[in-house]
Chains A and B, each alone.
Chain A
């Protein structure tokens, strides 16, 4: 078959198939508005155990790597103690993991006492978004655990991590506070000036975000704490977003904006807490 004939025979057919599938997927996505459809949900449900197993294996390999590295050093230092040392180190590692988790729950307990209106659920991060253009991750809980689209995600200290943007039965996708599509109403400084935390691509790549649309007359300074305003009802008021690390002026010189160093180091997270319900006080 000649090239021209091949292209004219199969090209349009494939284009029609692609367009039909694209149309179906596009319409289904638009109709579902963040709720995972059957295909996505089935896919995630099927791969969820695999993903959890992968995370567990990767964690184990990481600890194994650390173990081998430290073990070699111990062998050089003292051969006779190596077995005992390795055993203790292994034990210590598992203890420190448990201790870290315990510490997170203890912090959370203190946080819970301060915010008795919060209905919290904990979840582990099972995978990170593979894209260079977003900052998001998948957690191990979904609608089966009572989570809802738009639920606020925090750390054990009550620092804002992000928001649920996609919901499956036993998984959810969380958009982090530094993502380009993130918008959160905020209050800043001792006089609680209103502003909006909006993601920006360049800042996202540096692990930061931006405080813009400040109320007229607002003055912000480096070191000012940025808290959620609670306006709109998506986020409870008073959650720590971060601290102003630099005050900048827009290109036109008319407006001021702040660069926020988030309170949470997004890349270091392993466990998060989801606020399923809270009392709205505006």
Chain B
């Protein structure tokens, strides 16, 4: 009787998304923490929040984005709550855009992910420009390369979340 109160499908999806987040965070911080291309490391964790938001809507995207961001904030030394706020916003707005403004096709997701990745890279670089006097000439190439190297990781995130959500794309 108690089980009747639980939406098993939703719980199953939530668990699977938590596994996706765990896998993303593990890949980001344990498996590929020092994967450098031209001296720059990718930072692809935001794509998990965007993918979940796009396929599950703003609320799921926001909450699970918050968890992804919290995990990243705990794992990285440079920030305390930056990613928590940023990824929750990414998940929420990806959900809103996916539900009302854009379709859920792969290229829409890729553009959305690229925007989120670029914004993350710029937010990471901003304190160095604002408070440490590092020139934009130095910071922008790093931010752009970081975005570029991170985009390929969006591909598995898209198809994984699409599979979990069990939804077909909405045009």
Contacts and interface: CB of A to CB of B under 8 A. Distances in A.
A128 B33 contact: yes
A130 B62 contact: no
A202 B138 contact: yes
B18 interface: no
Interface string A6-44: 110011001001100110011001100000000110010
A11 B91 CA distance: 12
Which of A14, A30, A202, A205 gathers most chain B CB within 10 Å? A14
B108 interface: no
Nearest to A40: B74
Main secondary structure of the interface of A (DSSP, over half): helix
A134 interface: yes
A261 interface: no
A25 B77 contact: no
Nearest to B76: A131
B81 A173 contact: no
Given A10-B59, A18-B62, A130-B43, 18 more contacts: A3-B99, A14-B88, A17-B66, A21-B70, A25-B80, A26-B80, A29-B80, A43-B75, A51-B30, A58-B31, A131-B76, A132-B142, A132-B146, A134-B77, A136-B77, A165-B77, A201-B138, A205-B39
Interface stretch (B6-14, B110-118, B124-132, B163-171): B124-132
Interface residues of A, number: 39
Interface string B51-70: 00000001100110010001
B158 interface: no
Nearest to A2: B100
Nearest to B79: A131
A6 B30 contact: no
Contacts of A127: 29-30, 33-34
Which 4 A-B pairs give the minimum distances between C-beta atoms?
A128-B34, A22-B81, A130-B33, A3-B100
Contacts of A133: 78, 124-125, 128
A132 B28 contact: no
A10 B71 CA distance: 23
Interface in B67-97: 70-71, 73-78, 80-81, 84-85, 88-89, 92, 96
A25 B88 CA distance: 15
B134 interface: yes
Contacts of A58: 31
B80 A6 contact: no
Contacts of B153: none
A99 interface: no
Nearest to A199: B132
Contacts of A18: 62, 66, 84-85, 88-89
A43 B39 CA distance: 29
Contacts of B71: 43
A58 to B, nearest CB: 8
A88 interface: no
Nearest to A267: B34
B104 interface: no
B111 to A, nearest CB: 19
Contacts of B77: 129, 131, 134, 136, 165-166, 173, 175
Contacts of B96: 3, 6-7
Contacts of B66: 17-18, 21
Contact of B33 (A7, A30, A40, A129): A129
B39 to A, nearest CB: 7
Given A22-B85, A131-B124, A14 B62 contact: yes
A266 to B, nearest CB: 11
25 contacts: A3-B99, A6-B100, A14-B58, A14-B88, A14-B92, A17-B88, A22-B81, A22-B85, A25-B73, A29-B80, A30-B80, A39-B74, A43-B71, A43-B75, A54-B31, A58-B31, A127-B29, A128-B33, A131-B78, A132-B142, A132-B146, A133-B128, A134-B76, A201-B132, A201-B134
A61 to B, nearest CB: 11
A225 to B, nearest CB: 27
A165 to B, nearest CB: 7
